Amino acid sequence: MISVIIPIYNSISTIKECLDTVFNSDFKNFEVIVISDNSTDDSVKIAKEYKCKIIELPENNGPAFARNVGADNAKGDVLFFVDSDVIIKKNALTHISEIFSNNEINVLQGVYSHTPFYKNIATQYQQSFYCYYTWQENKKYASTLVSMCFAIRKKIFLETKGFNTKIKSATAEDEEFGYKLIDKGNKILISRELNVEHRVNYSINKLIRRNFLMYFNTMKSFLRNKSISKKIDQTNYLNIIMSLPILGLILLTLFINTFIANKITLISFIILNVIFILLHLKFIKFVSVSKGYFKGLKTILICYLDSFLMIFGVFCAYVSYFFGKKY
């Protein structure tokens, strides 16, 4: 049996479509567990219209806690975690069942569709880069986990002690769990057939807040788990990591140019920007070919913004951690 676990918090705008696609599955041996993280809207009322096991939590403790509660109450030997704003395909559960018939597979990661539901540049960037392009360029296995759509054997989930419930926000709790899985010898198989629509609409402000918290919490996770972080394959993100010192130098030359404008600083500024763009060129080409050249040009600006958010998030994480705040 597959246990489909869906944490919800004020998910009234998406939960119906999510449950419709789950119950429209061509696979029948499954149960659905919906965990309300103290929702204050009518999302629980909608979930009660379906054959779900519904668990209502008395306090809001974050998605990590809600997923762990779902796993503890699951009857299936395979757990399929789906976010409440995710739309799965009709054959998703059948595909998961087939994959887990191989006893050597313990964890299966789904991917975002390369055509996000919302067409604005922030959403296109976020979903295309983090959960489509990055993994399409990856090898067979993922370097960590993204919780919007993944399956895992219940035994492995419990052995790894689930998500870290001290992380309250919906940022980086899944990555830390992925690092723990890999540290214990598990491989996270990527399934490009298990591609889903994630119906989250990112504005620029939402992207800034979300990505800052992601980089902040991910760095905190590395600092808390130094032995694990040394084992993580971060080759997927080398272009961003390598671009950080370049962006730092760009900001420095921009600052110098403000006060001492000369040919050397101006040429340095131009060269550094060219290097920065070249580091992201593969992704920019990917966006240009699949989404159009205008969006490819817009993506350059988002790349600058995202790299700055990483610098700022990592810096704040170090400061916070060394002042005694582990979370």
Using one digit for the tens of pLDDT, what is the confidence trace for 115-129?
Answer: 777 778 888 787 776
Q: Helical H runs in 185-262?
A: 204-224, 226-229, 238-259
Please tell me the distance from the alpha carbon of residue 185 to that of residue 283, in angstroms, as a whole number. 31
Tens digit of pLDDT for each residue in 245-267? 888 888 888 888 777 777 888 88
Residue 222 maps to a domain: no
pLDDT at residue 130 is higher than 60: no
Please tell me the distance from the alpha carbon of residue 99 to that of residue 48, in angstroms, as a whole number. 30
CATH of the domain at 186: 3.90.550.10
pLDDT at residue 135 is higher than 70: no
Domain count, the chain: 2
Q: Report pLDDT for 240.
A: 63
pTM of the model: 0.86
pLDDT at residue 229 is higher than 80: no
Of 154, 181, 202, which residue is a domain's last? 202
Nearest Cα to 195, choosing from 113, 314, 308? 113
Please tell me the distance from the alpha carbon of residue 171 to that of residue 211, in angstroms, as a whole number. 8
Neighbours of 94 (CB within 10 A): 15
**Inter-residue contact 247 to 304 (CB < 8 Å):** yes
Tens digit of pLDDT for each residue in 17-26? 999 999 999 9
**Average pLDDT over all residues of the chain:** 87
**Inter-residue contact 178 to 136 (CB < 8 Å):** no
- Predicted confidence band at 227 (pLDDT cuts at 50, 70, 90)? low
User: For residues 107-145, b (16+ Cβ closer than 10 Å) or e, as one string?
Assistant: bbbbbbbbebebebbbbbbbbbbbbbbbbeebeeebbbb
Do 119 and 66 have their domain in common?
Answer: yes
Domain region containing 127: 2-202
Please tell me the distance from the alpha carbon of residue 177 to that of residue 217, in angstroms, as a whole number. 12
Do 298 and 166 have their domain in common?
Answer: no
